[in-house]
């Protein structure tokens, strides 16, 4: 699945949770998005891999695409690192939670692709494909439809919250406020 669709799905799922729990802020959204893109740092052709050439080339060489970063062990390592990072750097722990949701949604949606995921490697050499005949081909029509639905969902969520709860107004005003303070200092 393309990075843009991974990010769209993570936001379509994560935004309502962030709004409902009062955690709609730049850090949460950034962590969610990074988590949803990070597993594909194992290929220089992905959205995140293109921005991290060198690192993505090295990981691709060492582990291959859909290798370690797509295993449960790799996910666990990244998630634990995110929590430690938030604790050590004294950042909002919710950001690590958002990162976790993004990362796991990436693996889950990759599992529905025709190539599937080796969830339990190195303990079990089995490729898991969910969805049977409903599995999608990377870059195919089904993926584009899923991505479009996710993007539409985001637009609807933003639209509803702009007109009713005002969650996004607060979110945007908060960013403007922080920017002004940042420029002022």
Contact residues: Zn ion, CB under 5 A? 39-40, 110
C-beta closer to Zn ion: residue 40 or 143: 40
- Given a contact cutoff of 8 angstroms between Cβ atoms, the answer to whether 108 and 101 are in contact is no
Residue 74 Cβ, how far from Zn ion at the closest point, in Å? 11
Query: What Cα–Cα distance (Å) separates residue 17 from each residue in 99, 153, 175?
Result: 13, 13, 20
Concatenating the DSSP letter of every residue in 136-159 gives B-TTSHHHHHHHHHHHHHHHHHHH
C-beta closer to Zn ion: residue 110 or 143: 110
Please choose, from the candidates 30, 48, 31, 32, the residue with its C-alpha nearest in 3D space to the C-alpha of residue 40.
Answer: 48
The DSSP output letter for 36 is H
C-beta closer to Zn ion: residue 112 or 168: 112
C-beta closer to Zn ion: residue 75 or 82: 75
Residue 176 Cβ, how far from Zn ion at the closest point, in Å? 35
Residue 18 Cβ, how far from Zn ion at the closest point, in Å? 23
Residue 9 Cβ, how far from Zn ion at the closest point, in Å? 12
- The Cα–Cα gap between 4 and 74 comes to 22
Residue 59 Cβ, how far from Zn ion at the closest point, in Å? 12
- The Cα–Cα gap between 91 and 99 comes to 13
C-beta closer to Zn ion: residue 37 or 167: 37
């Amino acid at each position: 699945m393309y990075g843009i669709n991974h990010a769209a799905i993570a936001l379509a799922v994560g935004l309502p949770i962030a709004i409902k729990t009062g955690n709609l802020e730049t850090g949460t959204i950034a962590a969610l998005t990074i988590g949803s893109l990070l597993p594909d740092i194992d290929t220089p052709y992905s959205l995140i891999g293109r921005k991290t050439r060198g690192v993505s080339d090295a990981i691709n060489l060492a582990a291959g695409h859909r290798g370690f970063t797509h295993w449960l062990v790799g996910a666990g390592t990244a998630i634990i690192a995110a929590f430690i990072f938030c604790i050590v750097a004294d950042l909002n722990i919710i950001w690590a939670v958002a990162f976790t949701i993004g990362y796991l949604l990436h693996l889950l949606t990759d599992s529905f692709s025709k190539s599937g995921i080796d969830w339990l490697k190195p303990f079990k050499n089995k490729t898991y494909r969910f969805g049977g005949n409903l599995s999608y081909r990377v870059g195919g029509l089904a993926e584009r439809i899923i991505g479009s639905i996710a993007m539409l969902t985001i637009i609807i969520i933003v639209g509803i919250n702009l007109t009713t709860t005002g969650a996004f107004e607060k979110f945007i005003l908060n960013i403007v406020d922080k920017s002004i303070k940042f420029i002022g200092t």
